[in-house]
Amino acid sequence: MNFEHSEERRMLADSLNRFISEQYTFDERNTINASEQGISRKIWRQLADLGTMAALFSEEDGGLGGTGFDLAVIFEALGRGLVLEPVLSSAVLAGSVIAEVGNTSQQQWLERIIDGSNIAALAHEEAASNNDLPWVESSASTDQDGWRLHGAKALVSYGGIADVFVVSARTSGDIAEESGISLFLVPAGTPGLSIDTYPLIDGGRAAELRLDNVWVSKDALLGILNHAYPVIEKVTARGILALCAEALGAMEVCKAATLDYLQTRQQFGLAIGQFQALQHRMADVLLEIEQARSSVINAAAAIDADRLTRERAVSAAKFSIGRIGTLVAEESIQLHGGIGMTWELPLSHYAKRLIMIDHQLGDEDFHLQRYISLSKEVKEASHVE
């Protein structure tokens, strides 16, 4: 299989990397992080103008690509710059749902997501779900010519600035059943929708949503009633791939910064990188990062494959990224010594982001168990054949 990027993908990656290095400095990121919204609308529009969001969607959906390798290239660049803007939550998660099952009228939201004029957010996770995708307690019932939504959603990424939410709700079945889940478009400001925002340790923002007798029209239903779970699973797989690629970009920055420090920090008249014990530790880090890259490539290649192939690949990648990301964060800080934990050094912020990525959309323990379960499904399917 040919893993070389196309010329268009390389050009986009070069443009995005150059824009981030020139316009998204560490000081600029700190200023954005301290702002009320936690993002820069100016940067958001510039990212859209560069084609960042468009590259995450197929040409049929008004984009420029949308393949697994497009996601990987974009998010590795975003990871290198520790970009705060909600590309993942708006374009990959919420946007992918609209692209997958939205009708002609709903696709208008997609156009505004791609051009950067609107921000969307997926509201699926709940306080008791513990990363179990079928777990949905929030409910929706028919009311006249529309729907009434009740419940609460947790950890809605950048929910405080979203213009529209893609909300999952149970329309039939028991709490943990895959069947019986439906998706709805709920614009921000809809009566009965309350939003409580808060900062995250890595500089991002999230929100808790409460749906108190929220009414939406019948046209708010996304896709087929009671059959949203396959869409949620597929979109989540794209989100996991994006997170893994973002972590890879962050690891590369940690690696470069640590190598530079080992070559310049002097002790006993020598650069500390000349001490064999530190060389061995750094060599382990380099090898593990290459393993992480292989897992991202494997997940990117499998993202449009059949369900079991796709889900096994993304769970394997998320497990590897969680383990390796933690290792890179710890080793980079320890090899820097006490300065590694200071606020002024970007390294500590990269470390926090790597730890947070491990916990988003399922941590390494969750995905190890999931990979084992999926492998059993593959065995059972092969026996049946």
What's the residue count for the chain?
A: 385
* Measured distance CA(260)–CA(379) in Å, rounded: 47
Q: Which residues contact 369 (CB under 8 A, 6 or more apart)?
A: none
Residue-wise pLDDT for 231-282, tens only, equals 999 999 999 999 999 999 999 999 999 999 999 998 888 888 888 999 999 9
Where exactly are the structural domains of the chain?
7-119, 121-225, 230-380
- Comparing C-alpha atoms, which of 359, 299, 294, 292 is closest to residue 320? 292
CA angle 32, 35, 37 (to 5 degrees): 100
Residue-wise pLDDT for 81-111, tens only, equals 999 999 999 999 999 999 999 999 999 999 9
Cross-strand partners of 194:
210
Is the Cα torsion angle 10, 13, 15, 18 positive or negative in sign?
Answer: negative
Q: What b/e string do you get for 370-381 counting C-beta neighbours within 10 Å, with b at 16 or more?
A: bbeebeeeeeee
Rg over alpha carbons for the chain, rounded to the nearest Å, is 21
Beta strands (DSSP E) in 36-82 are: none
First CA to last CA distance, the chain: 27
- Name the CATH superfamily for 121-225: Butyryl-CoA Dehydrogenase, subunit A, domain 2 (2.40.110.10)
β-strands 139-143, 181-187: how paired?
A: unpaired
Q: Which fold has domain 7-119?
A: Butyryl-Coa Dehydrogenase, subunit A; domain 1 (1.10.540)
Annotate 157-204 with DSSP letters as a single string. ETGGG-SEEEEEEESSS-TT-STTEEEEEEETT-TTEEEEEEE-TTS-
pLDDT band at 361 (very low <50, low <70, confident <90, very high): very high
- Name the CATH superfamily for 230-380: Butyryl-CoA Dehydrogenase, subunit A, domain 3 (1.20.140.10)
Residue 218 CA from chain centroid, whole number: 30
Prediction pTM value? 0.95
pLDDT at residue number 144: 82
The angle, 0 to 180 degrees and rounded to 10, between the axes of the packed helices 68-80 and 276-302 is: 140
